[in-house]
Chains A and B, each alone.
Chain A
Amino acid sequence: MMKTWLKRTALAGCLAFAPLPAFAAGSTIVVTYKDDIATLDPAIGYDWQNWSMIKSLFSRLMDYTPGTADLVPSLAESFTVSPDGLTYTFKLRKGVKFSNGRELVASDVKYSIERAVNPKNQGPGAGFFGSIVGHEEMTAGKAEALPGIETPDEGTVIFKLSRPDATFLHVMAINFASVVPKEAVEAAGADFGKKPVGSGAFTLKEWVIGQKLVFEKNPNYYVKDTPKIDGFTVEIGQEPLVAVLRLQKGEVDISGDGIPPSKFLEIKNSPDGKDLIVDGEQLQTGYVTLNVQMKPLDDLKVRQALNMAINKERITRIVNGRATPANQVLPPLMAGYNSAYKGYAYDVAKAKALLAEAGLKDGFSTVLYASSTDPNPRIAQSIQQDLAAIGVKAEIKAIANPNIIAAGGTKGEAPMIWSGGMAWIADFPDPSNFYGPILGCAGAVQGGWNWSWYCNEAMDKRAAAADSISDPAKRNERAEAWKGIFTDIMADAPWIPVFNERRVVAKSKRMGGADNIYIDPTRVINYDAIFVK
């Protein structure tokens, strides 16, 4: 009896003095997604599930401070820009190794970017590198290399641009600029997306197709104290509702698809709610495009009337308040946002008056396209109601995303499209990304994303001019230029900006870190920075 008591007390004593680890040793976490991960090939991966994983598997010349939109050199130890903005010289960090053991050198950078641009690889990011000399020839299939990328020695990469490009450093940080080893790509062929080899904070240890991906931390990663977890497992095919139930039970650490609307209020009001929910701003705007080439939307007064008819507060209630009404193209966090701009106020009487001035006092009929995924049909109905109040009869077409994208990109097909579920989140934190594909003339083509078919040559010139202000000292001047461009675009009202949606991520209680690394503006989930408490 005495002996047992002594033993137990001794044991308890030892445990009381056992050192507590800073964070759980051997910390691996579980992340869930509903959709299968398409590919981990940085030249082609472009959906928001694989975006974060690719960021953590590979490295790029530039990167961002976690949770922010501030550019910092990453693979590059330092860089210089010529006074005319046409030459960027990067000095590479030494001793960076790929997961196959080989050291990363300058020719790898050149190879990787040429690979992202080469039309044979069908990369969706080819267009971002448009300012590099030789880009046009390569995309036309007339050249196999980019003369604008020079590698005088193994530690230096020089980019020659055909025009000053203020977005260039952002483009050096985007996933498509990730550095890959040629021999691994050639060995894997078209399967490189399933067998990625990179130099990032994590490596892919295992991929059981259809079930899970296992990532392991890279012990030789060149950024100190990164990553903070030992690894993460991504389980796919998980219905968001079931994922959240498992999260509450402790089986899942991050529900990648967020919290389904049906569970949102329950979790928000639960005692653990504030630990589980991460709510953050995104560089996103939801809008209705008005096809300026189709009658009667070609009349400015009509478009302005429609802008004044929409009750944006009610629409934000449909998404459980996870959005703020918007009055302009850019989201509030983006440089160039015009906080003084009032936009088109919600004014039904004025809207009706404007319609009458346009000669349509009895209204007109039109079609509103929307994604068939909840909550978009409900949002479309709300818009339909608002339009009916001013005499506009809108028929709703709630169909699958690819069909809407096809309709929007066909001339004269879709008068109005609600962008929810499809567009537009910034690819990188720069105002130009909200112009080119969706409001510029280059996007108003068959298959393009400028669904309002708005093509204003004067604006295009101003946009190009703003993008040529590449001197970082003139950053404010550039932001002012963009502010002016977007404010003047709103005067033309090719869109009805509706709201800026916030992103909601569900994480388990043991996950630590500020909100902005779970909803990182450039990474979605920043696997390099999150940690277990």
Chain B
Amino acid sequence: MFQFIARRLAVSALILLGVAAITFVLLYLLPADPAAQIAGRSGNAQTIANVRHELGLDRPLPVQFMSYLSKLAKGDLGRSYTQKTEVISLILARLPATLILMAAGIAVEVTLGLIFGIIAAINRGGAIDRLVMMACFVGVSAPQFVVALSLLYIFALTLGWFPMSGFGTAAHAVLPALTLGVLGAGWYARMVRSAMIDVLNQDYVRTARAKGISERQVIYRHALPNALLPIIAMIGIDIGQFMSGVVVVEAVYGWPGIGQLVWQAIQQVDLPIIMGVTLVSAFAIVTGNLVADLVAPLIDPRIRAR
């Protein structure tokens, strides 16, 4: 177990290093010039050259990269080009909102996914199954902007049940979480349905039924726990997805997540922020997957034995 964790940590570190290197090189190759951005419209050649020198952008690529890595080792993500604020404080300021939205969004997705998946699995082949799967399909295909605006218009503007935007109370989080949940539930539902169908065909389920256990007990105590494994893996991936920022939902609801931060940074060619958010997302994805891999044996003893 210890060996397993140690090995995974080492691999994760290598992955993060690779992400940092590739992103750094790609940003370096961008045609857009951050020095010209900062020097602004009235900057002349001298100002642009000065800015480039101050930011260290006139050094060769490997030198710039090593300098970035050495700062990274100390936990310093550098300072934003446009704001001059430390990138780490900008990200940390928005992290709680991102994490809350992630947790709430995943909770809604998983809940809805489980409900629809189980219903579909039990009624497999029937009209209800097809209806539920169709609904999931629509949910997954619907454009985020449209769903977000529709929910906002109906529940916040017209009915006034929820605040129209912002961050602070549980009420603020409902509509954004609902938007993301509705859009992502389809993936989970389909996965739950397949896993459940698989499990419901197993011998031990037949045995349980033969023993006279109620159908509900069969489903919830015997079948469902065995069908959860793929869900855990999906949650791991989902964490990564959320952590890279859900820009559209954040934009519509005025949710102060890191998606808006990195979107603006891209517009302004603010390289330190782009690098910082990329690394934080990569870190989250890697950690999410690591946790998923650690939780899996707890759910499925068969994995533990291997």
Contacts and interface: CB of A to CB of B under 8 A. Distances in A.
Interface of A: 34-36, 38-39, 41, 44, 46, 119-120, 122, 124-128, 139-141, 190-191, 193-194, 208-211, 235, 237-239, 241-242, 245-246, 249, 251, 400-403, 405-407, 409, 423-424, 427, 436-437, 442-443, 445-449
Contact of A245 (B93, B157, B269): B157
A141 B93 contact: no
B51 interface: yes
A383 B254 CA distance: 35
B67 interface: no
Nearest to B268: A402
Nearest to B96: A210
Main secondary structure of the interface of B (DSSP, over half): helix
B54 interface: yes
Contacts of A211: 166-167, 256
B47 A405 contact: no
Contact of B164 (A139, A191, A246, A437): A246
Interface stretch (B32-40, B116-124, B209-217): B32-40
B280 interface: no
Interface of B: 31-33, 35-48, 50-51, 53-55, 79, 82-86, 89-90, 93-94, 97, 149, 152-153, 157, 164-167, 250-256, 260-261, 264, 266-269
Contacts of A446: 45, 48
A127 B82 CA distance: 18
B32 A405 contact: yes
Nearest to A209: B93
A242 B254 contact: yes
Nearest to A422: B41
B32 A400 contact: yes
B54 A119 contact: yes
Contact of A125 (B42, B50, B89): B42
Given A41-B84, A402-B37, A445 B166 contact: no
A122 B254 contact: no
B42 A239 contact: no
A127 B45 CA distance: 10
9 contacts: A46-B41, A125-B40, A127-B47, A191-B86, A237-B255, A242-B164, A242-B253, A406-B33, A447-B35
B36 A409 contact: yes
Contacts of B90: 209-210
Contacts of A127: 42-44, 46-47
B50 A401 contact: no
Given A209-B94, A242-B252, A242-B254, A124 B46 contact: no
A54 to B, nearest CB: 14
Nearest to A126: B47
A405 B37 contact: yes
A242 B152 contact: yes
Nearest to A140: B46
Given A36-B264, A122-B50, A447-B35, A437 B256 contact: no
Contacts of A403: 31-32
B84 A39 contact: yes
A235 B50 contact: no
Contacts of B51: 119, 122
A521 B118 CA distance: 63
A448 B46 CA distance: 10
A183 B269 CA distance: 32
Contacts of A34: 251
Given A122-B51, A194-B85, A406-B36, A237 B157 contact: no
A447 B48 contact: yes
Given A36-B261, A126-B47, A210-B93, A237 B254 contact: yes
Given A193-B84, A238-B254, A141 B38 contact: no
B54 A122 contact: yes
B260 A36 contact: yes
A148 to B, nearest CB: 17
B38 A122 contact: yes
Given A209-B90, A242-B152, A242-B164, A445 B85 contact: no
Contacts of A246: 164-165
A124 B38 contact: yes
Contacts of B45: 442, 445-448
Given A237-B254, A249-B157, A427-B41, 6 more contacts: A39-B82, A44-B38, A242-B254, A249-B164, A405-B32, A437-B41
Nearest to A125: B42
A36 B251 CA distance: 12
Contacts of A242: 152, 164-165, 252-254
A120 B54 contact: yes
B47 A239 contact: no
Contacts of B261: 36, 210
A282 B243 CA distance: 41
For the complex of A and B, the 6 pairs showing the least CB-CB separation, nearest first, are A124-B40, A119-B50, A402-B32, A209-B93, A210-B256, A447-B36
A124 B55 CA distance: 14
A424 B54 CA distance: 27
A263 B296 CA distance: 50
A246 B160 CA distance: 11
B50 A141 contact: yes
Given A39-B84, A191-B84, A124 B39 contact: yes
B165 A437 contact: no
Contacts of A406: 31-33, 36
A417 to B, nearest CB: 14
A211 B165 CA distance: 11
B172 to A, nearest CB: 11
Contacts of A405: 32-33, 36-37
A125 B48 CA distance: 11
A125 B46 CA distance: 12
Contact of B85 (A124, A126, A193, A249): A193
Given A237-B256, A402-B32, A124 B269 contact: no
A443 B36 contact: no
A528 B164 CA distance: 29
A39 to B, nearest CB: 5
